[in-house]
Amino acid sequence: MKDINRKYLSDIIIHSFTISLVAYLVTLIIFSESYLDRRNHEFENFVNVMEQYKQTLFLTSRILENKIQETDSIKKTDLSTLKDIENRKYNLHKNLKPTNIDIELANEFQFLVSTMPAILPQVDVMYYRSYLSDMTSSDKDEVSIVKECGSDYVCTINAPERRLSDRILVSRVYHKKDSDNLYVTISSPVFLHNLIVGDLNIDVGLTRFFDLSQLGISSHVLNAVTFNELTYGNSLMDHIASTKEYIADNSTVYVYKVPFVWIVFRLMWLFVVMWVGVAYVIYLFRTLKMNRSKLFEVESNVKLDDLTGLLNRNVLKDQKFAEDLKSFGAAIMAIDGNKLKQINDTYGHHVGDDAIKQIAYGMRQVFRENDYLIRTGGDEFVAVLPGCNLDNAIILAERLKEAVMGTTFSSYKLNVSISVGITLLMNSETFEEALKRADSNLYSEKQSNPIHAQVSVV
């Protein structure tokens, strides 16, 4: 019993796993396409904003340069401060007061900000940062501006000339103090007499583009190019991934990865739910099927005769039996074994049972599978033949007599004969009424054919 239960459970597990796996793979394909489109759209949005900001910074820095070149208020003392700027690249903003250059640039920057359309959302900040003093000027009030030039944040004054050939410098991803957001800064230098006096910057917050809780960030340098990798999920799973690249400047590349394994991992819970759900449905379905099979077996056994395996009287109450009679009509045969009492008295009841089985065997040999073959009790039988006319019924009755009489049974090599009464079910009568008429015909045959009342012994 335990082996059967184990096999039953293992079969359910295997079938449910197979079905769930197929359903999961189909769902995964559909979800992956949608998920990748959504993730790629995020990166495309990031790239579009970066390109827009780069153009804005480039044009604004050139406007500031042209403005400062045309300004007559720049004094010689202001120009003299440019001589030492190369020596102060890495030691900036030591509480130096703004110069006239700074003031002119700041005023022009604020004028441009006030006249140009607002292109930056509240989370992004555009500002001018001076390298002649500690002055900064921003497009927003009370914002956090990075003044120092750290390892992640790259200032234009410290950048090699090669990196500024396109007048754009893009930083690595970095944290600001007192902020959970991550930022990328785009910078464009402002030149005066071929020296950088400051730069224009836009701090781009990444939370407006990406779900940072799922984003892994790393960077590495290869051939003087910094590759910033933005990877969804675990970076250990990025060997097989949907990859997009964005060349931010001539020395900075952003690589965006969505690993396929990460997508599979995110949907693994769905596979487990599918597996459990399908296994439960299969279990319920098979249990229902098994219960129906058992119920059918019980119902069949209730309608079967234990000795012969033919139907018993209970079939007369069956709805299908009544429907067949109503739909097709029927020929009805009342069948009775001859001299069965003599066999019982002479050879015993077990041989008498064999005689009854012999009659049942003959009935199975002669009649159709859809005919109703009924043992009504003792050596009495009824054959109900739906759709059979009287002529065919008479022929079948003769064949039945030959089939029963033509075969011996038991170790005594006995033969048994039968008598048959035939009638047709009329439209206006019940089955019981027709059966009484068949019994009457059976009795008439027994009286008119006494030879059938003999028992042959071979």
- DSSP assignment of 4-26, as one string? HHHHHHHHHHHHHHHHHHHHHHH
16: left (phi over 0), alpha (psi -120 to 50) or beta: alpha
- Token look-up 């359910």 returns 12
Q: For position 447, what pLDDT does the model report?
A: 83
Sequence-separated contacts (24+) of 385-390 with Cβ below 8 Å: 385/330, 385/331, 385/332, 385/333, 386/324, 386/325, 386/327, 386/328, 386/329, 386/330, 387/328, 387/329, 387/330, 388/330, 388/331, 389/331, 389/424, 390/331, 390/422, 390/424
Q: Per residue in 319-367, pLDDT tens?
A: 899 999 999 999 999 999 998 889 998 999 999 999 999 999 999 999 9
pLDDT in tens, 160-217: 888 888 899 998 888 877 777 888 999 999 998 888 889 999 989 898 898 888 888 8
pLDDT of residue 456: 30
Residue 143: per-residue pLDDT: 62
pLDDT of 3 > 60? The answer is no
Q: Rounded mean pLDDT of 227-238?
A: 76
Residue with tokens 């769905």: 270
pLDDT of 300 reads 59
Element (H, E) at 32: helix 2-69
pLDDT bracket for residue 148 (50, 70, 90): low
Check if the beta carbon of residue 402 is closer than 8 Å to that of residue 343.
no
Which pLDDT band, with edges at 50, 70 and 90, does 149 fall under?
A: low
Alpha carbon 421 to chain centroid, angstroms? 66
pLDDT tens digits along 371-381 = 999 999 889 99
What's 131's DSSP letter? S
Residue 17 is predicted with a pLDDT of: 86
* DSSP reduced 3-state for 243: strand
* Cα-based distances in Å from 154 to 49, 132, 164: 20, 17, 12
Q: What is the pLDDT of residue 133?
A: 84
Rg (CA), the chain: 50
The rounded Cα 428 to chain-centroid distance in angstroms is 60
- Whether residue 369 is predicted with pLDDT greater than 70 in this model: the reply is yes
What's the whole-number average pLDDT of the chain?
83
Beta bridge partners of 375: 381
Quick one: tokens of 109?
A: 């920057």
**The predicted structure's pLDDT at residue 241:** 79
Q: Which domains does the chain have, with CATH numbers?
A: 2-266 (no CATH), 304-453 (3.30.70.270)
Question: Which tens digits make up the pLDDT trace of 87-140?
Answer: 555 445 555 788 888 888 888 888 888 887 666 666 678 889 888 888 888 887
What is the reported pLDDT for 76? 53
428 pLDDT above the threshold of 90:
no
* Gap between the Cα atoms of 128 and 109, Å rounded: 7
**Residue whose pair of structure tokens reads 């009030």 in the numeric block:** 141
Using alpha carbons, list the distances in angstroms from residue 451 to 339, 371, 392, 416, 417: 11, 29, 24, 12, 9
Burial 329-359 (b: 16+ CB within 10 A, else e): bbbbbbbbbbbbeebbeebeeebbbbbbbbb
Which pLDDT value is given to residue 135?
A: 86
Cβ-contact 416, 455 below 8 angstroms: yes
Structure confidence at residue 457 (pLDDT): 31
Among 143-157, 406-420, 432-446, which is the least confidently predicted range? 143-157
Question: Residues of the chain with pLDDT > 70: what percent?
Answer: 84
Q: Is the pLDDT of residue 421 over 90?
A: yes
Token pair of 58, please?
């480039």
Closest CA to 104 of 53, 59, 63, 58: 63
Residue 77: CB atoms within 10 A of its CB come to 9
Question: Can you give the pLDDT at residue 366?
Answer: 95
CB 338 within 8 A of CB 352: no
SS3 245: strand
Residues in the chain: 458
CA distances from 356 to 43, 284, 342, 445, 456 (A): 88, 44, 13, 20, 15
Both tokens of residue 31? 């979800």
The reported pLDDT for the residue numbered 454 is 36
Using alpha carbons, list the distances in angstroms from residue 260 to 35, 48, 234, 414. 10, 25, 11, 81
Rounded to 5°, angle at Cα 117 from 116 and 118: 115
DSSP codes joined into one string, 200-242: EEEEEEGGGTS-TTTEEEEEEEETTEEEEEEEES-GGGTTSEE
What confidence score (pLDDT) does residue 118 get?
64
The residue among 129 and 385 whose pLDDT is bigger is 385
Which is more confident, 294 or 307?
307
Task: Decide: pTM greater than 0.85.
Answer: no
